[in-house]
A = this chain, B = another copy of it.
Amino acid sequence: MPATNALVVGLNAVILTVNQDRPQVLIVPQDADGVALPFGPFNPAEHRTFEIGLRRWVQEQARFQLGYVEQLYTFGDRGREAPVAAMTDIGDSRIISVGYLALTSDTSTPPDGGGLWRDWYAFFPWEDWREGKPAVIEQEILPRLSAWADEAAAPGRRATRHDRLKQTFGEGGSRWNEERVLDRYELLYEAGLVDEAARDGQADRPSGCPGLGPAMASDHRRILATALSRLRGKVKYRPVAFELMPEAFTLSALQQTVEAIIGYRLHKQNFRRALDRAGFVEGTGKMESQTGGRPAELYRYRREALVGLPSLGLATPKLRDA
């Protein structure tokens, strides 16, 4: 008997890569044209650690071998897991989701029957500022969030909502902080603007807000948002970007990767200056000539020379107008 208070641990993998300037996340198609992260229940009898179980699920569902992996967060809130419970056929057990972030430089399409790469900003169109501020923010998000804030009954709650709006979306005084991907998603969820909210019964009606991207199964979009927040923060104080690069790469390719992650453009010369001051890379002498202009030298990451050091991250010298 699957008792109501039985616990099931679900493992979820956010597998990211950057292909040229396209940031991608590995998803598995669900029936009824939904999408999900590779996931599955953790079987304690079979697997000694979460990571072993995770690698197994990803291999089975997405036909993909994981490299760099780190744990993200464990979600256990009642009320946001129902659809997966249904899908995985475990009655009304309570699901705990352990989210993992994995990075890979392997941008090849997984074999048939496996996962698919999908632009991760398809799920968060308001997060990509590389071509300037996304229009959807002014046109759709801010007006609706503002209306939602006004809807609150108590004046105190109205003020709090407006504050959160300002802080997360950076209107009026506060600047846009690209690391707050999760905060922004949570705000949109609470305001009922993303489709998951209606599905989970948080909003009384479907939002119908256009341009906010598709929902994902269960709380997977939340887990993806957590992953992006973490990655955007981490790239600045740990050399994680190199996990996304091939063995040899041009400095422009590295910069494109970082830009794809943080979602805004960088000052090229200063980015490079910081790079070699930190001693992260060394030239290989070989050249890449498919650049469209002057050929670029290929560099490699000096992994060995950096272990144990104070371990800084990449500089992210923003452009003035961005």
Binding site for B on A (CB under 8 A): 4-9, 42-45, 48-50, 71, 73-74, 76-79, 94, 96, 98, 163, 166-168, 170, 173-175, 177, 237, 307-311
Question: What residues of chain B lie closer than 8 Å to A308, measured between beta carbons?
Answer: 166-168, 170, 173-175, 177
20 further interface pairs, Cβ-Cβ under 8 Å (given A50-B76, A174-B309, A177-B310): A4-B45, A5-B44, A7-B9, A7-B42, A9-B76, A42-B76, A44-B76, A44-B78, A48-B77, A48-B79, A49-B77, A50-B74, A74-B98, A166-B308, A167-B307, A168-B308, A173-B308, A175-B308, A175-B310, A177-B309
A45 pairs with B5, CB closer than 8 A: yes
Give bound CA distance, A6 to B168, whole Å: 41
A96 pairs with B174, CB closer than 8 A: no
Q: How far is the CB of A319 from chain B (nearest CB, A)?
A: 16
Give bound CA distance, A310 to B163, whole Å: 16
Give bound CA distance, A166 to B9, whole Å: 37
B311 pairs with A177, CB closer than 8 A: yes
- Closest Cβ neighbor of A177 among chain B residues: B310
- Closest Cβ neighbor of A304 among chain B residues: B163
Give bound CA distance, A50 to B163, whole Å: 27
Give bound CA distance, A6 to B9, whole Å: 10
Give bound CA distance, A78 to B166, whole Å: 45
Give bound CA distance, A279 to B15, whole Å: 38
Give bound CA distance, A39 to B76, whole Å: 17
Q: How far is the CB of A162 from chain B (nearest CB, A)?
A: 12
